[in-house]
Amino acid sequence: MDILVERAEGVMTIAINRPARKNAITAAMYQTMADALADAQADAAVHAILLRGSAGIFSAGNDLEDFLKTPPVGEDAPVFRFLRAISSAEKPLVAAVAGVAVGIGTTMLLHCDLVYAADTATFALPFTQLGLCPEAASSLLLQRVAGYQAAAEKLLLGEAFDAREAQRMGFVNRLLPAGEVDAFAFQQARKLAALPASSLRATKSLMKRASQHEVHTQMAEEAVHFAKMLLAPAAREAFSAFFEKRKPDFRSVS
C-alpha cells in the first residue's frame, strides 16, 4: 500500500509509503489521504492526526510522470480534495519530517499544527524551476510565518534549504535526530489525543478562523494559475528536461 493508515491511542497515523520513488505522491495517493482525513474527522475516537513518511523519507512531492498523465483539472481533482481536507481539518495535525520534503511535501506542512523534523531533513519549493507557481496557499502562508523576503527567496529561486533554516523560518517546531523524529511526533500526537477533544477543536478553530476564507481563496487562485502554467511552454521544457536528466533551457520561453 502506498498510503498506510493506522489508528492507535486516539491518533490516526497517515504514512506515505512509496520509498522506491522517494514517497512521490500520485493522484490515487492524494485521494486516499483525503479520504483518511475525512474518516478522521468523522471518527470520534480519533483526537489527533499524524502525517509521516516511510524509510526515512517524507515526500519528494508530486510524482511527475503520474502528474502529467492525470493533471489536476477542476476542483474535484484528488490533489485539491487533499488540500481542502488538510487546510480545513478540525483536529490537530502533527507532522514528522525526515529526509526530503519537496514541493507539496513542504507546503502541506504549513497546514499542520505541530511539525517536527530530523536535523538532516531538507526542504525545497521548486515551483518556478518547473515553470509553475506555488500551491496549497503557500504564497500566502509562507510569508506569514517567515516574512516576505524569506518566503520570496524560497518561492522565487526554488532552491533547497536545510532543517535549521526551516526552523528559523518558523514552520518547524523542533529538530531531532533522524532516528527519533517519528517516535517523538507520535508521542506529541498522543499528548494531544489525551486532552479534551472539544478544547482542542475550539482552540484550533479560534486560531484558524480569521484566515480560513483567505487561505481557501488563495488556494483557488493559485490553482487557476497552476493549471494554465502546466500547459505552457516553460513547464513543458522543465518536465522534458527532468525526464531527459538535463538542465532546462528557458531562454526561448517567457
Q: Is residue 90 part of a domain?
A: yes
Question: What is the β-pairing status of strands 11-16 and 161-162?
Answer: unpaired
pLDDT tens digits, one per residue of 205-230: 999 999 999 999 999 999 999 989 98
Contacting residues for 150 by C-beta, under 8 A, at least 6 apart: 143, 169
Q: What are phi and psi of 69, to 5 degrees?
A: -70, -40
CATH number reported for the structural domain that contains residue 244 in this entry: 3.90.226.10
Q: Is residue 186 part of a domain?
A: no
**pLDDT at residue 69, as a whole number:** 87
Q: Is residue 185 part of a domain?
A: no
Q: Is residue 109 part of a domain?
A: yes
Q: Is residue 188 part of a domain?
A: no
Q: Is residue 123 part of a domain?
A: yes
CA 105/CA 221 separation, integer angstroms: 20
Q: Is residue 139 part of a domain?
A: yes
**pLDDT at residue 135, as a whole number:** 96
The model's pTM = 0.96
Q: How many domains does the chain have?
A: 1
CA 70 from chain centre, in angstroms, equals 19
| Residue span of the structural domain in which 75 resides | 1-178+193-254
Q: Is residue 187 part of a domain?
A: no
